[in-house]
Amino acid sequence: MRIGVLTGGGDCPGLNAVIRAVTKSLLRQCGAEVIGIEDGFAGLMENRTRALDWRSVSGILFSGGTILGTSNRANPLASAEATAATLANARTLRLDAVVAVGGDGTMAIAHGLAQQGLPMVGVPKTIDNDIEGCEQSFGFDTAVATVTEALERVQTTGQSHGRIMIVETMGRYAGWIALEAGVAGAADVILLPEIDYDPEAVLAVCREREQRQRFTVICIGEGAKPRGGALTVERRVADSADPIRLGGVGHVLREWLQPRLQSEVRATVLGHVQRGGAPTPFDRVLATQFGNHAAQLVARGTFNRMVTLAEGRLGSVPIGQVAGQNRRVPLNHPLLVAARQIGVSFGDG
């Protein structure tokens, strides 16, 4: 058996832990040959691969990024020629199946290739935690830890200067990172993509705290927007499956608040520090379980499914069921409700 492994889309902490677990499990359980495909689907389109063995996956559990590289632009489904070339390469490489580790965009491509006859197994990855059918993806816990630490840090400096401190998180159209880190990092205001905020409501919290506590910490997800307003787009990437990159909404909010407040308002956009660095122990464990589960699916000949975590149990769903979907924070989520009950403002009244 020859099995390809690739990591697609934006990187996140824990990818190497998956590569390691898939490889070790396939070597040990099936005696398979494991082929690492470089730079996501780009490597499959351009025939760039390398063998993965015990030695090449040794010592990578703790490291951030992906030893295989990744791409969030390469799309073998972009044209009939690209698809044909990709499938031809897979035949030349004598791949019996490919394990694709990625987010919704990667799953959409994996689904498309599976429909064209290339057996696929998906492993959900994203710091955004927004993959349908999977209650937690690895990388999320690490990102939450990073944002939580940042919130703690801005709190002490904000307290010293009596400032309004805004911290912008990643997460695209889902507010999971902002919600969890916002609660863990004691934010006074948490603004999510799922709840359009009223700037006047945010202003009222800051004014009240100006009198009472001098400082305010606001945690805002990059996909948040004011009522009746638009998303803040940082740039457009024409040749990507996800053509919009969000970013800068923290500065937009700062510009609106500053003239209306006595205190200084400062904004910090955390950006890619949330994606880098070593995975937390939780993410190492989850990624190892996901990788091993993917290898078990391959060993059983169960293809075109994505590994999932549902109610704390590993399982799998058809890739087509999750491809291109987005799992957002429900407005009745227990953490959101609890945060409201302890007085956190979500900027909606």
| Residues in touch with ligand F6P (CB under 6 A) | 10, 72, 103, 126-128, 170-172, 222, 245-246, 275
| 196 is known as an active-site residue | no
Choosing from 11, 39, 104, 128, the catalytic residue is 128
The residues, any chain, with a CB within 8 Å of residue 85's CB and separated by 6 or more, are: 45, 76
Contact 333, 179 (CB under 8 A): yes
C-beta closer to ligand F6P: residue 65 or 158: 65
Place of tokens 């994996």: 110
Name the residue number minimizing CB distance to ligand F6P: 170
3-state secondary structure string across 163-177: CEEEEEECCCCCCHH
Residue 147 CB, nearest approach to ligand F6P (Å): 11
- Supply 237's token pair: 């990437």
Residue 244 CB, nearest approach to ligand F6P (Å): 9
Residue 309 CB, nearest approach to ligand F6P (Å): 18
Residue 240 CB, nearest approach to ligand F6P (Å): 7
C-beta closer to ligand F6P: residue 75 or 345: 75
C-beta closer to ligand F6P: residue 20 or 172: 172
Place of tokens 């956190």: 344
The residues, any chain, with a CB within 8 Å of residue 307's CB and separated by 6 or more, are: 121, 122, 123, 124, 134, 290, 293, 294, 297, 314, 315, 316
Rounded alpha-carbon distances, angstroms, from residue 108 to 74, 111, 306: 12, 5, 11
Which residue numbers are catalytic?
128
